[in-house]
Amino acid sequence: MTEEKKIDENKQGEALLLESQQGNTRKLYIESYGCQMNFSDSEIVASILAKQGYNTTQHLEEADLVLVNTCSIRDKAEQTVRKRLEKYNAVKRTNPNMKVGVLGCMAERLKSKFLEEEKIVDMVVGPDAYKDLPNLLEEVEAGRDAVNVILSKEETYGDISPVRLGGNGVTAFVSITRGCDNMCTFCVVPFTRGRERSRDPQSILSEVNDLAKKGYKEITLLGQNVDSYLWYGGGLKKDFKNASEIQRATATNFANLLDMVAMAQPHMRIRFSTSNPQDMTEDVLHSMARHKNICNYIHLPVQSGSTRILKEMNRQHTREEYMALIDKIREIIPDCAISQDMITGFPTETEEDHRDTLSLMEYVKYDFGFMFMYSERPGTMAARKLEDDIPLEVKKRRLTEIVDLQQQHSAYRTKQFVGQTLEVLIEKESKKSDQHWSGRTQYNTVAVFPKENYKVGDLVMVKVDDCTSATLLGNAINYSEAI
Ligand code: SAH
Ligand code: F3S
């Protein structure tokens, strides 16, 4: 899957619309770019601002406050946001009272520079400072610029229940960790989102239970690195001397959390993202195998198939260790779908390294993939130590080669499902036909089938008769026929 496709899936640039609260008179237009965490954070922000008298709007022209939740992961993501700011500027000329705030990773990366560089910005708020929004808005209303980019070691927003009525009412994200401690050399996230911290399992459970009560059928537990989730009764990882001390404390790790969530809501589908190969344990795989409602799908970014490049990237695994993990997954969960993130053209990448990436892909035959050209990010270790020395043409060619190979593998995986009967959760009407539903299997493959009398949110057994390269086509059948 190309970057653009991923962006389309995340509905980038579509403003969040929530149910209006009576008595609220001000209008908030909030847009999100980047990862799912940003979309989830925007719901937290909307929830905080609902208490400040704001209802959401999807019409930029009528907004009193425009917020853009931004992404810094690649230069292109930042350019997209800068273009949006130009658009806001044009609207601000006709509505001078409109205030503009930048949230998220770009806010954190550029800090007050934003106020100097982008004259239209009134407020800059980093990912850990959203609870300060009411104060910051007061500053802005008093005619002063407002900035809060302080990163926290504790903030998880566990006590804020995000308002979610903008989604499909069927699938929701629940964040379980924030930040990242991994320091992959290419990655800006540890700088923009700060240290890793885990959220109290009880607050996760109550959010999940609440979503179930509201009729949600599927949740995705979110974090930059979910497998390193660890909660020890309020303590932080740094408060413990070593791993065995942590073990002795009454800790909840990711496998325990999966068990808890899966058992609390046995009729809900559970997904999680993202897994880091270095932290994924066998316990997690056994937990997945134990609970039917945990979807057999793992997003397992690898970034490169070359051990030498992985080392340069400061990834904590070799090619061989990654392959051994793939073998383990297939042993414990034979039907598990697996997807990757891959970077091409990392500094010093040779043709041989690139071929290693292609051969690793051949080994795994990923179901899906998200592939990117290396984009140097200021302040990262790679930017400081390594020259961005792979010519754009070479990066592009290598990207095309891995995207083409991934498409072949995705098509191969999709085809394997033809003839099978699979459970599909209906999410929406098919884009191509109002006579068909579109949903996903547990493997995250899209399935399309005639509507009949089913509705959004139904879990339906679908007999797959045919497929395109990425979509299963079939017909719903009764459970009795399926068994
Ligand atoms: N652990 C995170 C990773 C976030 S970044 C998660 O939750 O998915 C998502 C992907 O963007 C990474 O896996 C990597 O493949 C890609 N990426 C990160 N920094 C990049 C850079 N500087 N250039 C190109 N791609 C990058
Ligand atoms: Fe980035 Fe590596 Fe963390 S890709 S988000 S530093 S796991």
118/40 same-domain check: yes
204/243 same-domain check: yes
Q: What average pLDDT score do residues 87-91 get?
A: 92
185: containing domain? 171-415
Can you give the pLDDT at residue 14?
A: 74
Q: Counting Cβ atoms within 10 Å, is residue 307 exposed (0-12), middle (13-18) or buried (19+)?
A: middle
Tokens of 16: 């969040």
2, part of any domain: no
Tokens of 451: 């509507």
Is 336 assigned a ligand-binding role in the annotation? no
395/429 same-domain check: no
Is 105 assigned a ligand-binding role in the annotation? yes
Distance 157 CA to ligand 2 centre (A): 21
- The length of the chain in residues reads 483
Distance 342 CA to ligand 2 centre (A): 12
State how many domains the chain has. Answer: 3
Specify the ligand 1 atom closest to the Cα of 301: 13
- Contact between 43 and 162 under an 8 Å Cβ cutoff? The reply is yes
Q: Using the predicted structure, report yes or no on whether residue 10 has a pLDDT greater than 80.
A: no
Can you give the pLDDT at residue 238?
A: 63
**Of the residues 374, 390, 415, the one at which a domain ends:** 415
Q: Using the predicted structure, report yes or no on whether residue 163 has a pLDDT greater than 90.
A: no
Give the predicted TM-score (pTM) of the model. 0.92
**Of the residues 363, 397, 415, the one at which a domain ends:** 415
196, part of any domain: yes
276/367 same-domain check: yes
224 lines ligand 2 (CB under 6 A): yes
- Contact between 343 and 374 under an 8 Å Cβ cutoff? The reply is yes
161, part of any domain: no
258/290 same-domain check: yes
Q: CA–CA distance from 17 to each of 36, 46, 193, 222, 300 (Å)? A: 17, 9, 25, 22, 32
Is 184 assigned a ligand-binding role in the annotation? yes
Ligand 1, atom 14: closest residue by C-alpha: 341
Distance 189 CA to ligand 1 centre (A): 8
378, part of any domain: yes
Q: What average pLDDT score do residues 353-376 get?
A: 98
Is 295 assigned a ligand-binding role in the annotation? no
Helix (H, G, I), strand (E, B) or coil at 232: strand
225 lines ligand 2 (CB under 6 A): yes
463/411 same-domain check: no
Q: Using the predicted structure, report yes or no on whether residue 483 has a pLDDT greater than 80.
A: no
- Report pLDDT digits (tens) over 385-422: 999 999 999 999 999 999 999 999 999 999 999 999 99
Confidence of residue 335 (pLDDT cuts 50, 70, 90): very high
33, part of any domain: yes
Q: Using the predicted structure, report yes or no on whether residue 25 has a pLDDT greater than 90.
A: no
Q: What average pLDDT score do residues 442-454 get?
A: 96
List, in sequence order, the alpha helices (H) in 194-343. 201-213, 243-248, 254-264, 282-290, 307-312, 319-332
- Report pLDDT digits (tens) over 216-259: 999 999 999 999 999 986 556 666 677 676 666 678 999 999 99
DSSP structural state of residue 294: B
239/114 same-domain check: no
How far apart CA 81 and CA 74 sit, in angstroms, is: 12
361, part of any domain: yes
Among the residue ranges 9-23, 51-65, 118-132, 248-262, the one predicted with the least confidence is 9-23
144/185 same-domain check: no
Q: What average pLDDT score do residues 345-374 get?
A: 98
**Of the residues 366, 392, 415, the one at which a domain ends:** 415
30/79 same-domain check: yes
Q: What is the dihedral of CA 34, 36, 38, 40, to 10 degrees?
A: 160
404/470 same-domain check: no
Average pLDDT over the chain reads 92
Can you give the pLDDT at residue 6?
A: 43
Specify the ligand 1 atom closest to the Cα of 180: 1
190 lines ligand 2 (CB under 6 A): yes
211/346 same-domain check: yes
Ligand minimally distant from the alpha carbon of residue 71: 1
Name the amino acid, one letter, at 440: R
213/302 same-domain check: yes
Can you give the pLDDT at residue 23?
A: 80
Residue matched to tokens 């139904």: 458
Is 71 assigned a ligand-binding role in the annotation? yes
- Contact between 436 and 448 under an 8 Å Cβ cutoff? The reply is yes
Contacts of 157-160 spanning 24+ positions with Cβ under 8 A:
157/41, 157/44, 157/130, 157/131, 157/199, 158/199, 158/200, 158/203, 158/204, 159/203, 160/44, 160/47, 160/48, 160/131
Distance 71 CA to ligand 1 centre (A): 11
Q: Using the predicted structure, report yes or no on whether residue 60 has a pLDDT greater than 50.
A: yes
Distance 432 CA to ligand 2 centre (A): 36
